[in-house]
Structures are given as C-alpha cells and as structure tokens.
Amino acid sequence: MAFDENGKIWFNGEFVNWKEANIHVLSHVVHYGSSVFEGIRCYNTKNGPAIFRLQEHVERLFDSGKIYRMEIPYTVDEICDAIIETVKVNNLKDCYIRPVVFRGYKELGVYPLNCPLDTVIAAWEWGKYLGEEALENGVDLGVSTWRRMAPNTLPNMAKAGANYMNSQLAKMESVLNGFDEAIMMDYSGSVSEGSGENIFLIKDDVLYTPHSALSILSGITRDSVIKLAEEEGLKVKDEAIPREMLYLADEIFLTGTAAEITPVRSIDKITIGTGKRGLITEKLQKKFFNIIEGSEKDKYGWLTFVE
C-alpha cells in the first residue's frame, strides 16, 4: 500500500494539501489513543464510482463517538457529503476512505473533555488487503494467544483507534509465526474475530458467525454477507462458536471492508475442508462482487454514486 502524496485531505471542513494535514505531537490522541474511525470502500462500478454502504459506515462512526462521549460537530449527512467530495476532489475511482475523529491539541492528562475534536477524511487507492491471490486461494490463519477485549474493558462495538493495539499484538504474533492473519478468541475462549475482519464458517450448508456480544465489531460486510446468504436460501446462525469447530468446518472465510470476502485455507496448520476456496464461499463472493461491479441490481441500495 502506498499513498499518493499529491492528494487533498478534508480537515475540519476544509481541503488541505496531503503533506500539510498535520497535528501537534502533544495532541491527546497521540498519547492516549483517543480516536474513532471508519474504513469505507469506493468501487469503480460499470455506472461510475460508488461508495459501498456509506450511510451505515458514517452512522457507525457517530455511534463509536457516542460511546466515547465525542460530540462530532457535523451531521451524518454533512460527513457523507464530505466523503463524496473527498473522492471527487482526488479524482479517485477505486479507493479506500478513512474518516477519523480524534481528540486534539490543548492539554494532556487522561481526562479528555477539554480537548478539541478534530475530524479528518482521507482517501487513497488500496488493493487487496491480504494479498492479490488471497481472494482466490485463501489465507492461513493462526489462533492468537491474545484474546479480544473482554466486556467492561474496551468496548468492541466502537471502532476506536485504541482497539487496534489489541489487533496489532495479534497480527504481529501471527505474521511472525508465518501466518497471514490472526484469529482471536473472546475472553471466555469462544471464537471472536480477526485483527481486522469478522469470521464465518460453514458446516453442513449452515453459515455460523459469532454474535455481537462475543467481542466483535459488528461488521458492515458481515451484515451484507448475512443478507446475501439468506437470499441464497442458506441458514445463518449467529451464536457462540467453540474454537475446535473452526478446524472441523467445511469452509471458512473472513469479511471486512478492506478484506472483502477472503477464504481461509488453514487454521493452526490444519487444513480447512479441501484446503481450497469452498463453493459456498465462491458463490457469496460472486454475489458480492457482482453488486459492487454494478453487474447485478443493487436491490438493497448499498451504493452511493459519487457523481
């Protein structure tokens, strides 16, 4: 992934040059991780660039802010418009969009409410999250020794910068151990999620995914896949999944804005199913990519066109 540093970044309501979108080193966020953010994709569909589930992402940004008592000084509509403008101004077609709201520069100390809130939107081209081949051949996962945050520690439903310290521990461990990605259990030992993805498994034609009280981020891709699977007549169960059920699955895949729908071919060096992308995974990928390419009708209204 590389940035094009000639672009413009939306910074508190105005576009600034990429290299001038800077903050002070004594900003609250630098010291205490006080930020909430989103990751959104724009796809170059047959009918022009369109942002996938823009409204839902921006609503989740505001929800994350609410949990942390951040009063974002814009409306959901204003942020949606600013995101569209950011894509346009930068002449992007296929891109990843990163809005972030953080506590800025005024004073330090844990108590955050005297610091200003800054709101930033950046966008850049970001290809396949887990490598070009991953969508077809699948990735290798390792179960992390790090657990997802327990209830009453850090709220998993908020997409907050600080949560990604936990993700980084798991991701570094898995990559250094030779895996592509980590899968984390929740505090009680049942399956939770990846460092930046939700997880689904398929056993005997039923789709299983951990429910929202199992320390997951309620993924928007997860929600999209559940809708597409139900449309295909598949049974979807969101429930607690024991770790060993992963090893016995017929198919497994990860979902996320960055990861899209990525098949998993092994976990802890145990082959999942045939060790190749499964048929149901492939079918769901096709449905998903047909919508974002614009070749299938967008019946859920998931696409917001940039023009």
> Phi first, then psi: what are they for 45, rounded to 5°?
-75, 170
Collapsing DSSP states into helix, strand and coil, what is residue 137? helix
Contact flags string 235-274 toward ligand PPE, x per CB under 6 A: --------------------xxxxx---------------
* Annotation says 159 is catalytic: yes
Which of 49/219 has CB closer to ligand PPE?
A: 219
Pairwise CA distance, residues 138 & 95, whole Å: 22
| Using rule CB under 6 A, residue 21 touches ligand PPE | no
Task: Name the catalytic one among 159, 269, 286, 297.
Answer: 159
Pairwise CA distance, residues 225 & 252, whole Å: 13
Q: Report the nearest approach of ligand PPE to the CB of residue 193 (Å).
A: 5
- The residues with which 195 forms a beta bridge, in sequence order, are none
Q: Report the nearest approach of ligand PPE to the CB of residue 170 (Å).
A: 10
CA-based Rg of the chain, rounded to a whole angstrom? 19
For 74-99, the DSSP string reads: S-HHHHHHHHHHHHHHTT-SSEEEEE
Which of 64/115 has CB closer to ligand PPE?
A: 64
Which of 70/97 has CB closer to ligand PPE?
A: 97
Q: Report the nearest approach of ligand PPE to the CB of residue 140 (Å).
A: 18
Which of 115/199 has CB closer to ligand PPE?
A: 199
Task: Give the residue, chosen from 7, 39, 112, 210, that forms a contact with ligand PPE under the rule CB under 6 A.
Answer: 39
Contact 64, 158 (CB under 8 A): yes
**CB half-sphere exposure, 28, CA atoms < 13 A:** 21
Considering only residues 155 to 184 of the shown chain, the ones binding ligand PPE according to CB under 6 A are 167
Which of 158/272 has CB closer to ligand PPE?
A: 158
Q: Report the nearest approach of ligand PPE to the CB of residue 235 (Å).
A: 21
Considering only residues 49 to 108 of the shown chain, the ones binding ligand PPE according to CB under 6 A are none
E strands, the chain, are 8-11, 14-17, 35-37, 40-45, 48-52, 95-103, 117-124, 139-143, 181-185, 191-194, 198-203, 206-209, 235-238, 251-256, 260-267, 270-271, 303-305
Q: Report the nearest approach of ligand PPE to the CB of residue 274 (Å).
A: 26
- The residues with which 102 forms a beta bridge, in sequence order, are 35, 118
Pairwise CA distance, residues 16 & 22, whole Å: 10
Q: Report the nearest approach of ligand PPE to the CB of residue 198 (Å).
A: 5
Pairwise CA distance, residues 162 & 264, whole Å: 27
Task: Give the residue, chosen from 119, 221, 262, 266, that forms a contact with ligand PPE under the rule CB under 6 A.
Answer: 221
Which of 115/198 has CB closer to ligand PPE?
A: 198
Q: Which residues are catalytic?
A: 159
**Which residues in this chain contact ligand PPE in the complex, by CB under 6 A?**
39, 167, 193, 196-198, 217, 219-222, 255-259
